[in-house]
Amino acid sequence: MASATNQTFPPLELVTKPTLPTKPTAFYLNRQEQTLRAWACLENGPIRPIRINKRLAWKVSDIRALLTGGAE
């Protein structure tokens, strides 16, 4: 039986990268990864990802804005 790995992420205030992959974004937004993938696929979520080589990258500025109530 495979054991789940407990990943820890730094506080969002300390993140200096311009974008994040789906897993840490889901952690910061307290959502399942699949929810973010659905937002990307259906283009109906509060934030939209950047697609880089068939992968999703989420702007840290958009994540911060959403968490502070500044997203659309």
Each residue of 16-41: pLDDT tens digit?
999 999 999 999 999 999 999 999 99
Q: What is the pTM of this model?
A: 0.85
Is 59 within the bounds of a domain? yes
Is 28 within the bounds of a domain? yes
Region 49-71 average pLDDT: 93
- Which long-range contacts link 41-46 to residues 24+ away (Cβ below 8 Å)? 46/71, 46/72
Structural domain containing residue 46: 17-67
Q: Write the single-letter amino acid at 61.
A: S
What pLDDT sits at residue 7?
Answer: 81
Is 9 within the bounds of a domain? no
Domain count, the chain: 1
Strand partners, 58: 20
CA 62 to chain CA centroid, Å, is 9
Indicate if the pLDDT at residue 1 is higher than 70: no
Is 4 within the bounds of a domain? no
Is 31 within the bounds of a domain? yes
Is 6 within the bounds of a domain? no
Distance CA 70, CA 4 (A): 34
Distance CA 34, CA 18 (A): 22
Is 2 within the bounds of a domain? no
